[in-house]
Structure 1
Amino acid sequence: MKRRIIILSILLISGLVHVYPSNQIEISLLTCSSGTESFTAWGHSALRVVDKNKSLDIVYNFGLFDFNTPNFHLKFIRGKLKYYLGIESTINFYKNYKDENRQIIEQKLNLSDENTIKIIERLTYLYIPENRYYYYNFAKKNCTTELRDLIFENIDIEIQNQRISKTYRNLINESVADKQWLKLGINLILGTAVDREIDRFKSMFIPDYLSNEINKVEANGYKLVMSETIYNKVVQKTSSNSFLLNPAIIFSILLILTLIFNSLKAQFVISSLIGLTGLLLLSIWFLTEHQELKNNFNLLWCNPLYLLSAILQFKEKNKLQIYLAMLLQAFILGIVLIWIFKVQNWEIAFLSIVSILTLYNIRIIKKGYRNRIM
């Protein structure tokens, strides 16, 4: 019943906005801070619409999805997961974020009558059932880019769209700097497409960047943002990650142990894990429609062939294992060159893992020479 009332109110707004002056309809950008769940690490954006005449106060939210979607994770990786536009009362929206201890910044927009009409009409159109769903892409089509496009396509202001000397990967890493394991995993699966410099407009796929850019917009002597209010102000938290749980530290310790001890069992386990991870990366490359997950040169070191290497290491005088180690080491030299020439960026923890794999390959090659089985 409550949902029907909201929907009817939206349709009413779209009709009445032509009659009432724009100062009776307020539109605000809401920027929400990150949460504890990994999918909330980048924050969130939504749009608040207030109709003073009808005592209506609602939030448009482009960031909704159904966890019960069949094959949810596979569809997410493949780029086949549908997100959708939803609406809810502002009271409920604010309460949910307060319960999660997440801050909300509200930026009230200074819009003309014409701009207000355009935005309301576009929102009404997008909420029609056949229009409200879209295929999610974390960099090009998400809750924030939908609002970015909505706002800038319906105001009479153009931004100076110069490059910002940052890449998609840089901005993603900024948002997860305090979540080192998540950051490691993200940098493992992302390919070269996220390592090109982007412009100001493209940078607004991150909620904080949209908020900051909106705040800078000014034309004809007035700013687009007329006021800013912070709800449930949250003190910036320092990283809760233990120093010893940092992946770079853990893999560095593992490298030291590998230098000291020559354990075939440890080599089998690590090589197998690397090989399985490589199979996963290869599968993602071929299955996904996300261009950002293709052309991933991490496959040179995180290679499925390490599975074969793990199996062969228990066989005595095996020439195939020696030649395989040489090939895998050549791949490692390749990825190092790619990192040096910045074709694809890297994560510092990768250095320790690559060093461990190099030790394994060198030991196999040296053993071959020593036993004269080359």
Structure 2
Amino acid sequence: MKFPLILKAFLGAAVLSAPLGAQTPADTVSKANVPAALPNEAGSNLTVYLLTFGWGDVVWERFGHNAIWIKDRTRGTDMTYNWGMFDFDQPHFIWRFVTGDTRYWMEPIDYNSMVAYYKQHNRSILAQELNLSPAQRLKLQQFVQWNALPQNKFYRYDYYRDNCSTRLRDALDHALGGQLQTATVSRMTPGTYRWHTQRLMTGDLPLYTGVTLALGHPADKPISMWQEMFLPVRMANDFRTVTVADSTGNQIPLVKSETAIFTAGRPPEPSTAPGYLWLFVAVGLLYAAILVLLVRGAESGNRLALFGATALATVWTIVAGVGGLALLFAWVFTKHYFMGRNENLLHFDPLSIALVVLVPLSIYTLRGVSRALKLAGFIALLSLFGFVAQGIPLFDQKNGEVVALALPINLAVWWTVYRLTSYRRTSLPSSAAL
């Protein structure tokens, strides 16, 4: 979805480009007729296409990308306009990214350079000619040219509500006088922002885990077709079902024709979210089971098992505590709206960071035992509540994977502290070596 390179990368790609017809045959899919424009009517010299680029390998390429392509026969130009430009070398880029204040911009790029880049990176390219009247085509061209001016091109990027695809959608809706929004805003889809994000993270478990943990309750609301157009490929699919009024008031298909400019040698993007729940269940239960076995070994006098149980419990408190602090920071101190109201804080509790000290301290020195037991028990109870409360309307976040992973471990950590501190109290006089 995000366009990863600055303009000079496309200038380099232009050297590799050739006329479109010489690179790959076009595959025309469908056509629809529109009222013929008068030869001298303003805008009749323009042809407007939606270009959709399939998903790629890098993180920011997994959501696809799109652009408006305007062919101007009078000027002899073929320009594309996309809103996905960013630069890692921008001042404070990392901090802006973390706090949700990333600056993207819109950029016109020569059509041949654009196509050459995506072919080089093995990403499919679909062109859909749009059924716009001459006046609408002209209005769109004037808008994108205005938007490309230095004082107008920058905007604050939001992954779901204001990204490169929604900006393109809004530009087309502007040209259509609001018809696109009217036709799609009330048509609900079965997907959510979380579901689509997880779907596109298929095959990358660390990324899948990260977005599942980071996204909060707002990401689980059903979205309309209008909102679904934050995804370029979904927008292209949705356009096939949209009709708009022509200059005579008759309803016509928004898409006049389709051309597959390039078909990548990779599978299409996944159509459903992966079923990783079983994996999170297995990891959570396995981690908890290892803790139980180590505690049993420690209670039999095995010093290595005592160390292992303490270390394993402490490692989890580091992971849960740091993760919880990150989630809390994202909710309270950033502009990442969809990371707010995150029920995963019930399972990755920021208070766990205190157990990093209290767990080994209570087990090995028997100091702070009461505090360690109370805090570990409180964290375990919160995690248990987060599981039981799934049926309550205000606690229905789709975070089954996080619950499956964290709940058994949080319970096992409390049990570990309880058992080992009890064992140490009774065994210390006769086992000073421990």
Report the TM-score range of the alignment, normalised by the length of the smaller protein.
Answer: 0.7 to 0.9
- Deviation larger for 156-165 or 54-63: 156-165
- The offset of 1:343, in angstroms, is 2.4
| Structure 2 gap segments, 5+ residues each | 1-6, 12-37, 245-249, 296-308, 427-434
Percent identical residues: 23
- The offset of 1:221, in angstroms, is 4.8
- Give secondary structure in 2 for the equivalent of 1:229: strand
- The offset of 1:64, in angstroms, is 0.3
Asked if the contact 1:63–1:142 (Cα under 8 Å) also holds between the matched residues in 2, the reply is yes
Max Rg structure: 2
Give 2:346's aligned residue. 300
Q: Tell me the distance in 2 between the aligned counterparts of 1:33 and 1:238.
A: 8
Q: Tell me the distance in 2 between the aligned counterparts of 1:361 and 1:146.
A: 49
* Cα pair distance change 1:247/1:51, threshold 3 Å: farther
Asked if the contact 2:50–2:128 (Cα under 8 Å) also holds between the matched residues in 1, the reply is yes
- After superposition, the C-alpha distances for 1:135-168 in whole angstroms (9 at most, x for unaligned) are 0000100010001111123215331422223322
- After superposition, the C-alpha distances for 1:179-198 in whole angstroms (9 at most, x for unaligned) are 22211101111111111122
Asked if the contact 1:338–1:344 (Cα under 8 Å) also holds between the matched residues in 2, the reply is no
| Structure 1 gap segments, 5+ residues each | 7-16
- The offset of 1:56, in angstroms, is 0.6
Instruction: Determine which of 367, 371, 378 is the counterpart of 1:327.
Output: 378
- The offset of 1:288, in angstroms, is 0.7
- After superposition, the C-alpha distances for 1:223-257 in whole angstroms (9 at most, x for unaligned) are 11111112321241699x9x9xx766655543443
Give 2:65's aligned residue. 44
Q: Does 1:195 align with 2:195?
A: no
Give 2:129's aligned residue. 108
- Give secondary structure in 2 for the equivalent of 1:348: helix
- The offset of 1:199, in angstroms, is 1.5
Q: Tell me the distance in 2 between the aligned counterparts of 1:154 and 1:322.
A: 63
Give 1:209's aligned residue. 234
Give 1:281's aligned residue. 327
- The offset of 1:22, in angstroms, is 4.1
Q: Does 1:311 align with 2:357?
A: yes
* Cα pair distance change 1:104/1:324, threshold 3 Å: same
Instruction: Determine which of 143, 149, 169 is the counterpart of 1:148.
Output: 169
Instruction: Determine which of 256, 267, 287 is the counterpart of 2:313.
Output: 267
Question: TM-score, length-normalised on structure 2?
Answer: 0.75
Instruction: Determine which of 184, 189, 199 is the counterpart of 1:174.
Output: 199
Q: Tell me the distance in 1 between the aligned counterparts of 2:107 and 2:282.
A: 43
* Cα pair distance change 1:247/1:153, threshold 3 Å: same
- The offset of 1:366, in angstroms, is 4.5
Give 1:231's aligned residue. 261
- The offset of 1:358, in angstroms, is 1.4
Amino acid at match of 1:136: Y
* Cα pair distance change 1:34/1:289, threshold 3 Å: same
Q: Give the root-mean-square deviation of aligned CA atoms.
A: 2.8
- After superposition, the C-alpha distances for 1:56-109 in whole angstroms (9 at most, x for unaligned) are 111101000111122212211222111000111111111111111111111111
* Cα pair distance change 1:49/1:238, threshold 3 Å: closer
1:28-39 to structure 2, matched below 5 A, reads: 28-39=49-60
Amino acid at match of 1:32: F
- After superposition, the C-alpha distances for 1:320-370 in whole angstroms (9 at most, x for unaligned) are 011111211121022213434452111525412331121111232345667
Q: Does 1:360 align with 2:413?
A: yes
Q: Tell me the distance in 2 between the aligned counterparts of 1:293 and 1:25.
A: 42
Instruction: Determine which of 180, 183, 190 is the counterpart of 1:159.
Output: 183
Q: Tell me the distance in 2 between the aligned counterparts of 1:173 and 1:238.
A: 12
* Cα pair distance change 1:155/1:351, threshold 3 Å: same
Total equivalences in the alignment: 355
Q: Does 1:61 align with 2:45?
A: no
- The offset of 1:49, in angstroms, is 0.9
Question: TM-score, length-normalised on structure 1?
Answer: 0.86
Asked if the contact 1:279–1:304 (Cα under 8 Å) also holds between the matched residues in 2, the reply is yes
Asked if the contact 1:181–1:247 (Cα under 8 Å) also holds between the matched residues in 2, the reply is no
Give 1:257's aligned residue. 290
Amino acid at match of 2:161: K
